[in-house]
Amino acid sequence: MKLRRAVITAAGLGTRFLPASKAVPKEMFPVYDKPAIQYVVEEAVAAGIREICIVISADKGAIKQHFGRDRAMELVLAGKGKRQQAGLIRKLAGMARISYVLQREQKGLGHAVLCAERFAGKEAFALLLADDLMYGAANVLTQLDRARRKPDGMALAVEKVSRQMIPSYGIVKIKRGGRGAYDIEDLVEKPRLKDAPSDLGIVGRYILTGEIFKALKRTRPGALGEIQITDALRGYLKDGGNIGAGVFGGTRYDAGDKLGLIKASLEMALRDKMAKGEMRTYLKGLMKKR
């Protein structure tokens, strides 16, 4: 069945970005010419999804404002002859049907997903982490939907991670299934290097079904005292559930990290025909000075 719904989690504290994230949600930090979260919404829309629920915390109203319709601003812009910009912000508000759910306490990603239970219902849905930006030839969600091994199964995007980063990720053990697909055999959140079953880390894209909510409700707080989605997925697997893996082959930026955000911005600027020349000259000059 075609994916109709997506949940985007954006309720995290953003401690890595303090003090910048104190008043402005980190998801609203610009990546070249758009806030980070807009790329994620656009990715879901490109996969044909029209119903999106963003999980936010009480201090992230700017996200709502960004995707909401602002007729007064459209009129002011049109009145000044800025029709293109007026069209741009109108289009932004009409991209998808976006609703919001509040995560009152920051009890982890798993808990944030649980907050969207009513929105998601029983049907398969996509989960996108607002600070993971994916850039590649194919749409990750479309690929992941194909990586589901059973109609009622789930699928996760994974990527090879460096040794020193293994303890920061959910790590999976996979086995090869038919037709170049992979089944997940086991998964563990933030393992010690010696306990890691592989070097394949879970990245911020998932296809989940209603079964995840049952599993989340049974999951006790794990690493960092938070309810971890990886632990819930492990429970689902142990109860006979099926999880496919899609190996992501594009470029991923962690926009929740200072350097990750700068890298994403630079690369987006270099991909813009209008800015590319000036950016290259500037970067070359900068490197000579260092």
Task: Using CB under 6 A, list all residues that contact ligand UTP.
Answer: 9-16, 55, 103, 106-109, 111-112, 129-131, 256
Among all residues, whose Cβ is closest to ligand UTP?
12
Between 34 and 90, CB nearer to ligand UTP: 34
Q: Rounded to whole angstroms, how far apart are CA atoms 171 and 153?
A: 19
Q: Which is nearer to ligand UTP, 209 or 230 (CB)?
A: 230
Query: Side chain identity at 198, as an amino acid letter?
Result: S
CB of 12 to ligand UTP, least distance (A): 2
Nearer Cβ to ligand UTP (140/279)? 140
CA dihedral sign, ordered 267, 271, 276, 281: positive
Residue 135 CB, shortest distance to ligand UTP, in Å, is 18
Indicate the residue among 88 and 262 with the shorter CB distance to ligand UTP.
262
Nearer to ligand UTP, 5 or 149 (CB): 5
Q: Which residue has the tokens 């911020």?
A: 204
CB of 129 to ligand UTP, least distance (A): 4
Residues in the chain: 290
Supply the minimum distance, in Å, between the C-beta of residue 253 and ligand UTP: 13
Q: Which is nearer to ligand UTP, 3 or 10 (CB)?
A: 10
Nearest approach, Cβ of residue 72 and ligand UTP (Å): 30
Kindly give, in sequence order, each residue whose CB lies less than 8 Å from that of residue 90, ignoring residues fewer than 6 positions away: 69, 74
**Amino acid residing at 3:** L
How distant, in Å, are the alpha carbons of 3, 130, 141, 153, 155 from that of 147?
A: 13, 22, 10, 9, 6
- 188 CB contacts (<8 Å, ≥6 apart)? 170, 171, 195, 196, 197, 230, 234
29: its two tokens = 């930090």
